[in-house]
Amino acid sequence: MSRVVNERACTAEQLRMAPGDPFQADFNMGLARPLSRSVRLNGFATCLRLEEVYWKILERIAAANRCTVNAVLSHVDREVHLRHGGVKNFSGLVRVICVVYVLGGGAKP
């Protein structure tokens, strides 16, 4: 059975006037700038390139767990290898983990 969804298209002007405008006038474009950092994943040195906003989220995750960003990334790397045999796009996985954390799926009381 096919379901048709009636979507109402918003104009750019309507989005700007909406209370939830995702691109505010004071938006910090620096957060979208990619940064490469040298990290150690379980003892192996590698380079990880993520936008600045993701590095900031990783810092929050690390602080919440009282550890370093390297320790968080090593844990993710180890768990993805143990549970799924690895991943082709580690930086993509890290981005998704950051978004899930911000959405409330990673914060523990």
Q: Is residue 22 part of a domain?
A: yes
Residue 74 and residue 41 in contact, taking contact as beta carbons nearer than 8 Å: yes
Residue 28, pLDDT > 70, answer yes
Give the angle 82-84-86 at the CA atoms, nearest 5°: 80
Q: Is residue 4 part of a domain?
A: no
Q: Is residue 7 part of a domain?
A: no
**Range of 28's domain?**
12-105
- Which phi and psi (to 5°) does residue 97 adopt? -60, -40
User: What CATH number does residue 43 fall under?
Assistant: 1.10.3990.20
Choose the weakest-confidence range: 29-33, 44-48, 51-55, 77-81: 29-33
**Rounded-to-integer distance, Cα 22 and Cα 15, Å:** 8
Question: Domains in the chain: how many in total?
Answer: 1
The two three-digit tokens of residue 94, written as one number: 């890290």
Residue 45, pLDDT > 70, answer yes
Q: Is residue 5 part of a domain?
A: no
Find the helix or strand (DSSP H, E) in which 40 lies: strand 34-41
pTM (2 d.p.):
0.75
Residue 41, pLDDT > 50, answer yes
The two three-digit tokens of residue 76, written as one number: 């993710």
Residue 109, pLDDT > 60, answer no
1 pLDDT band (50/70/90 cuts)?
very low
Residue 77, pLDDT > 70, answer yes
Q: Is residue 16 part of a domain?
A: yes
